[in-house]
Structures are given as C-alpha cells and as structure tokens.
Structure 1
C-alpha cells in the first residue's frame, strides 16, 4: 500500500511495488513524483526525514534535513538594532538552506533499494515532460502564490547586522514578481484540469536519473543553482553542495500501553515530543473519557503546553550540542511535569508553564508525507518539506525546481516566533552547517512485534499534535484508518496560549466547559494532511488518506 499527497505519486509508487520493488524503492519514486505533482511541498530543493522498519523488525532513521550554508551566521536576519527583519527568513534567496532531498534519496537507495535507480526516477521525468492536470486545490494554490523574480531585485533596503563578510553592507528584501517558468499563469488564473508541463524540471530530473547524486550537486544543475544564488544574493556555495551529507540516526523507541512507538530523533523535535505526550497521557483512560470530551481535551492540552515549552528550550541539532533526550523521556520527569493535572482540573495558563527544571542545557505548514508498506512487510514513513507553501517562492532559473525557506525554522532571535508562531532559543540558533529544528514526526507503531501503524503529516508546528491525535484515534478510540485521518483536529503549542479548533472538533457542551475552565478557543481552517496505513490483525492493510488534500491511498 502507498498513501501520499497526490494521486499520481501514489500511482507511481504502487507501480514500483507491483514491479517487485521494495518499500524503499517506492519511497524514492514517490519522492521524485511529488517534486513534479505537488510543487507546494514535494521537492528536490528541500529535505526531510525517513523512519523505517524492515520485514525482520530492524528499524532505522535517515536524516536528510537541510543545513545552514557555511556563510550563514547567528544574527543574519536581524537589523542593526537587533530586530528581526520581516520576510527575510521566509521569502527570497537568503531563506534557503542547503537542499538535501536528492542526497537523502540516493543514500536510502544505496543502502536499502532493490531496483535500479534510473527506473525509480524515470516516472518523474516522464511526468514532468508530459505534464499533468492540476487538481482544484493545486490550481488554487498556484493562483494564490507569487513567485520571486530572479531578473530584477527590487524592494526596501536596510543595513544588515551580521550576514557574512561578503554581504555585510546592504541586502534587499525581494518583492514578488513572476519569473517565466512552468508555474506562471497562462494569461489567466489557473483552472482545475489545466495541464502544467515542466520542461526545465524534466531536464534536471533526467540528470539526476543518469548521474545520481552528482546530477544535482555537481555539473549543470549545481551551476544553475549557484547562478540563482548569485542573482538573488543567496549564501549557498559549491562547497556547501559538496559537503552536504545525510545522516543515518538511531530512531527513538518508546512504549504506549501495549504498543511500541518508533519515531524520529533530533534534529526533529517530533519523536521526542510524541513520546513525551504519549507517556504523559498513558495513565488516563482516554477512551472512557470520550473522544474530544472536555476532560480528554483538557488532559491532552495540558500535556501539549508542557511538551512545547520543553521543545523551545532543549531541542536542536545534536551534532552541535547536547540534547537531553533521555532526561526528557524519563518516566519520573514526565510524571513530575503532569503533577497536579487531573481530568477535572482547570487550565494552566502558559505564562505559568516553563520548560522542566533540572535538565542539562543545550550547549554549543508546507510539508508533505507518505507512508508505504510492501508485500514483504518493509515499512517506510517519510516526511519531506520546503517549509512554507512553495518554500522561498524562488524557482531556480533553467532548472525548474523551487528552493526551500527552511532557514526560518531556526530561531532568528530567542523568544521571537517563526512563521508557525513557534518560540525558539539558543539551542536552535543559526550556525554554519547546522541543521534547523523540525516538527516532522514520521512514525511507526508496532504491537506484539508486528507492524500496526505507519503515520505522518505535514503542518509545521501542528505536525506533532496531528500525529498524536491520529495515533490516539486508532489505538484508543478504535477509529479505522480513514476515520482517524479525517476526524477534525485540535492543537495547542504552549504559545500562543489558545487551542486551535477545526470546525466540528468540539461539541457546544465541550466548548462551554473548556471556556469555563479558562481555555481560549481559536477557530481555524483545516490543517495537515495525515497519510496513515493500518495493519489489521489478519495482515490486511487499510489506508487513510487525508481529505483535506488530494491525498490518495492505493494498494493491492
């Protein structure tokens, strides 16, 4: 079974499985297909994480998170007064971290793949060259997005405090404008059913097909990327491309009731946070309290606000400092964090909640996910991202791919929220070659040594809570896979101090009771696109494809 964010990507992944490829082969094919079919998040100009479990029960994790360029510096998004410059970390060339996706897919295939590399990339080449019809959601997304021109840089000037010796004088915040490329409107707004062809992207993918990693990080593609950096005053250099390496990491493993949960370690905060939340909630009978009852929502929210406070203080790139993972997951610590919280207690204002004490300090939206299980039982959970929708809005001229704006996932200044409203501190400060903290939470759940769930989602800071809710929906509330991903969601991230509420997530009685206890409710449009595979006791696979997007589940 394959569940991904676009029907074409799901189709391509399933064809790989039918041809005898394994789940890792299908993951590579799906990733490159999403780079064509889902430009808002699918990518070759971003990065991500893979958590996998082999048919023999062996587990692993691959970190292909972007890194800060060598010329990046801690205060590069601050003006001379020390204030964060609006938009500089989210749009334009300075927002881009070193792309990691191609290196990650190459590493995954070299270690675990079965079919020839070129056979896995070729379907994406064909998709880009022949074109594909836009869905209504993708047409709306393109119409709402303006891409940054690389021809003329205009915009407000400011004196930059600390970019790099080469850029110390003045840098421009680019204005939006259209660079002629596949995404430019055809003289009118895009309509569902319009065919969009990617001539330059097809050529780039063909180089990756023929040359592997070198087809992106060297040669013509690298030349085009570096030319784009020069035009837009970006920081990525050939040295950055040469030195980038994905990293194999040991996944985090924890218990929740009779289940084992396998998730991503730092520099993702997702695995730590998910395991903290599940352990905090295990003492409570959530099923008895009822789905989204006031008591259940209260307990989940109190756990979430404490976990996000810890995230802001302690989590960052483990290669640049000590991350106290074991202490954060210690049962006694988590019990202490929830001390005084009962099903009937009042809300705890976030102003009164800080990160847990006594731990060693750290020392020096738009995303997509796919879940795959093959016939042998290999399982892949992969979350990949450009960060914001369409990343930095920069299309590499002549190469046809979008650059990420992952630099916004660093803490530009301690205590100042990023684009998702998440607060960060010193542990996640910008540093050359450093990986920015992430909320991506690709996860796998087993029961009695057998695969139970493969789950993940996009959604920025809401990723962690969305994966939590989908997992609880299946394991505690006994919803099937499709019901679990479709159910309306709630979210709390410590700051700002309110519960985000999707339409239909709370009954009027639950709303009234939560408000009585002191909670502020914030109605929000739908978020996230959970892709989930559930393995039933008889071995049948059941897919859940989030109806909030064009997500599609298919199997045989």
Structure 2
C-alpha cells in the first residue's frame, strides 16, 4: 500500500528535481464521467484520482480538502471551517455546517476599547481573532455519514505533499511574500521563509505532516484532543488567545436541511444559517424572477438595475435578521415568503436609482476578503458536492500553530464586533450576529447546487467575501437567463451591491457600452475594482456529459475529470 501511495504522489507532484512548477491549471473542459473544479491543480488531481479508484464525491472532497490544507495555504485549511451542500444521485439533499464557533471565554464587547469603539485589527490579526476550528470535525462527519473509502487512504496524499514537498506556484509565492511581515510578527518561524519563496520553490511542511498523521490515525480526535489540541492551546496561551481544550473537545458540526428556492423551472439548493448565502441568494432570485432579464440582455441598464436593487434589499435584510439560528430567532420562512419578496420590490422604479438610506430591512414576523476557497464535484454516479471553506482573510489570523504547522482562522471578525459597524468586508451586522460564546459567526459562503426540472443541473460556489452571494447569482443567471456556456458565464465581468456602502462595485470590463454612464445619470454611485469572487462550477449538459469551469480570476483555479 505504501508503494501505491508513493506512486500516486509521484503522479501528482512529478519529478521534484526540476526547478519549476510541474503542474498547470486548465480553466475549462468537458468530461464524460466525473468532474472536479477547485482552487489548485494538485488538489483537483488528488480528487480525481480518488474518483478513479472508486471513491464517491464525498471521498473525493475529503481527500481534496486535506490536500488544499497543504498546497493552498492562503485558504485551504484544517484551522478554519466551512459548509457542505450535498445532493445524492437519487435527489436526496443535505447540508453540513462546520463553521467555526466563538470560544467560551468570548464576550460581546471583546473588541471594543474603553470608549466603546472597535479596536482596529483586534478581530482580524493575531490570536484573539481565532474562532474554534470546525474543518476537521466537518470532514470527519461527512466521511462517516457518506464516505466509502477508508479514512486513512484519503489523507495519505495530503501527508505526502506535506512530508515530501511540492512546488509553489507563482501566484502562491507572490501571496506569501505579501504577508511575510505578518507571519514574522506572530510566529517565530514558518515553512515559508525567504529560501522557499524563489521561482519554482519547493516547500516541505514536516509539522503539518505530523498533524495530518495524527488525524489519519485518530480521526477528529487527532485534532480536537491529544497532542494537536495541546499545541493549539499552547499557541493560544502564548499570544493571548481564548481557545481552550474544552472549546476544542466540545466542537460539533451540524447537519441541516438546505435552503431551497424555485426559479423558472430551476431549483436552487443552498446553505442555511449560519451562512447568509442561501437565504440571500434565494431572496434575490425571487425578487428578479418576475422581470424578463433575458429580453433585457446581459448587463443592460434594465438588467443591472433589477439585479442591483434586489441585491440592495437582500443585504439590508441580511444585516438585520441573519445570524446563528441556535442563538437568534432567524425568520427564514418569512424572509423567503413569496409575497414578502414581491413587496420588497414594490417601490423599485426604472427611472431613478434607489438609495440605501430609504431601503431598510423589511418588516417580517419573527419566529436569519476574498480568501475563502470552493470545490465543486460530480462523481460517476451523479452525486454532487458543493463545499466552501475558509480561514477568512489570507492565511487567516496569520498565526501558525507552533509545532502543528497550520494557520488559524480570523473568523471572529465575521461577528458584529459592534452592531452597526462594518467588518473587514464592509458588511454591517446587528444584534442577530453579535458575539456570544459557542455561537457561529455569520458567513457569506454560498455553496449551491441547481436542479433543472428535477435533475442535477449545476454545482457552483466561490470564495470572495461579501461578493460570493452576488457572484453565484450572476453566474447562474448568465446561464439560465442569458444563454451563456458555463466557461463564459464564469469569466463574464460582474458587479455587486451590498446595501452599505451605497455604491455598486464593478469589475473593469463590466457595465460597458454606455451602461455605466446611463446608470450614473439615474443616480447610482460606482466604484471600480480589479476583480471579485472566484467561481468554480460544474454543469450537466443535455447529453449527460459534465462541463467544468474554473475562474480565470485566479491563476491556480483548475478543472479535472475523466
């Protein structure tokens, strides 16, 4: 068996003596049997090898997530958390919330100074920014319930990458260099030193390999108890963090029913709270459905108005109502009520821009950075997996567990450090997302599966902070309304409105042909950005083949299959 793993590692990583990166990302391809879209070629190839060996989509996702923790350190992780949306070949659906939680010692005002103002950087950098990680528990839970191949076998490729080394891509080298000073501020040493950041640099991560071996041998207990837990707690104590052994031992992921919404013959399946993604996506889809977007045309003045005003209203509701439903009475049914959503657009007019001053959260009956990462998988049986995971910012809190070899998240910033004050993504939250011990912080991650006439149609998701939800919506509409092929739909320029600040962000090539000028005349305000969320998607074509597309916005995004 060891020889098999060694040969697999050679297949994936190639000859290590060559001073170059020995893998290359492909952005789109069509496969007959199974397909994977993800953030890094070594991770997607790991998943495809699992599928070829008879593993199902969950098996591939397990191996891929651990591989990403090694080869994609800016966002792949065992020190963060995530969400799974799953659709079995027979149409059964599930979602799994393995979002991080606030430590037991966390408190509502922990990031405020004596004057009651948010202390800059305290929730985004360093040990106090870290929430209790959920990734390993989540992966273990999905494997226990839905996996088929042995756990130890699925971790071995990641262990081999960490122990034997792999070559950093130019994109990852550039990103690591950008945060080198941050690493030095919070860590005595990391594997990403000056000597490993040259062209075609090879990096080995022996501490991470040892951590992964403990997880391989003991499952979730190899992370949440024993030596790894001791290392995490020692790191917390060294830097003033809050996570304790009890916090780690008590962590539990949660199985839930996905959010569902019908749209013109399609059905969207997405993530419920503590993600805001599913609710907001469903709201926006319902609000734009009555309008003939296909007739208006892609990014015409009317199309942009309708979509942007739906975005504005959904994000206003997000700020008011969405949070961890275990701690706050999130009115999901009311927020997704068709009559309520029709009423939300009742004051929309084509002859003038709306404003976020006058657009507030709707009245409902009370009874919910861009460095995240996403994978979309469809296996040979038709099982589909949509998973988004994150450390939040690039390399999370910038804290690497000494002796453990992995970065910890800075997810505490996704709480409302002070209700009404924006977080690092400019998102405003209120009481629903205030800090409480054991609570999951609100997320914009939107892993989504789309059905068409009852059959699997698309698997989609993205990193991108607050722009994730709107990017998923636009990519779906690009296919469903504007008739684009999936690679074109993924690459198409995008725009984004999140209620506050009251402006539309747009990518450089978006809103062309005078559309920007026309909308400005109507009173809309704009800010140009280089890029926003990075989509990874798989579409089932009419002949049953699988069209996979990775986003050109990230050089390392890759699709693989067979």
Q: Same fold (TM over 0.5)?
A: yes
Deviation string 1:459-479 (CA, Å, 9 cap, x unpaired) is 110010010011111111111
Deviation string 1:406-425 (CA, Å, 9 cap, x unpaired) is 00000000110000000010
Cα displacement (A) at 1:191: 3.1
**Please, which of 220, 225, 235 is the counterpart of residue 218 of structure 1?**
225
1:153 alignment counterpart: none
Please tell me whether the aligned partners of residues 532 and 543 of structure 1 are also in contact (alpha carbons under 8 angstroms). yes
**Please, which of 421, 428, 433 is the counterpart of residue 423 of structure 1?**
428
1:171 alignment counterpart: none
1:432 alignment counterpart: 437
TM-score (normalizing by structure 1): 0.93
The separation in 2 between residues aligned to 1:447 and 1:53, in whole angstroms, is 13
1:513 alignment counterpart: 518
Cα displacement (A) at 1:176: 2.6
Please tell me whether the aligned partners of residues 50 and 383 of structure 1 are also in contact (alpha carbons under 8 angstroms). yes
Please tell me whether the aligned partners of residues 394 and 402 of structure 1 are also in contact (alpha carbons under 8 angstroms). yes
Please tell me whether the aligned partners of residues 281 and 469 of structure 2 are also in contact (alpha carbons under 8 angstroms). yes
The separation in 2 between residues aligned to 1:512 and 1:104, in whole angstroms, is 47
TM-score (normalizing by structure 2): 0.92
Single out whichever of 514-523 and 190-199 deviates more from structure 2.
190-199
1:169-184 equivalence runs, <5 A: 176=185, 179-184=188-193
2:353 alignment counterpart: 347
The separation in 2 between residues aligned to 1:16 and 1:410, in whole angstroms, is 37
1:199 alignment counterpart: 206
| Aligned-residue RMSD, C-alpha | 1.2
Cα displacement (A) at 1:233: 0.7
Is 2:151 the counterpart of 1:117? yes
SS across alignment from 1:239: helix
Is 2:72 the counterpart of 1:66? no
1:107 alignment counterpart: 141
1:52 alignment counterpart: 86
2:6 alignment counterpart: none
The separation in 2 between residues aligned to 1:91 and 1:42, in whole angstroms, is 18
Gaps of 5+ in 1: 150-174
Is 2:218 the counterpart of 1:230? no
Deviation string 1:507-552 (CA, Å, 9 cap, x unpaired) is 1410110100111110101122110000011111000101111110
1:283 alignment counterpart: 290
Is 2:281 the counterpart of 1:247? no
Is 2:195 the counterpart of 1:186? yes
Specify whether residues 361 and 93 from structure 1 end up closer, same or farther in structure 2 by C-alpha distance, changes over 3 A only.
farther
SS across alignment from 2:279: helix
Deviation string 1:210-255 (CA, Å, 9 cap, x unpaired) is 1111111111111111110010010000000110000000111110
The separation in 1 between residues aligned to 2:187 and 2:409, in whole angstroms, is 18
- Paired residues, number: 526
Is 2:27 the counterpart of 1:27? no
The separation in 2 between residues aligned to 1:305 and 1:545, in whole angstroms, is 28
Please tell me whether the aligned partners of residues 148 and 179 of structure 1 are also in contact (alpha carbons under 8 angstroms). no
1:531 alignment counterpart: 536
Gaps of 5+ in 2: 1-34
SS across alignment from 1:176: helix
SS across alignment from 1:79: coil
1:138 alignment counterpart: 172
Cα displacement (A) at 1:147: 5.7
Deviation string 1:343-384 (CA, Å, 9 cap, x unpaired) is x3311111111000243287xx12000000000000000000
Cα displacement (A) at 1:485: 1.1
The separation in 1 between residues aligned to 2:187 and 2:442, in whole angstroms, is 31
2:26 alignment counterpart: none
Please tell me whether the aligned partners of residues 334 and 364 of structure 2 are also in contact (alpha carbons under 8 angstroms). no
Deviation string 1:295-335 (CA, Å, 9 cap, x unpaired) is 11111111101100000000010111210001001111101
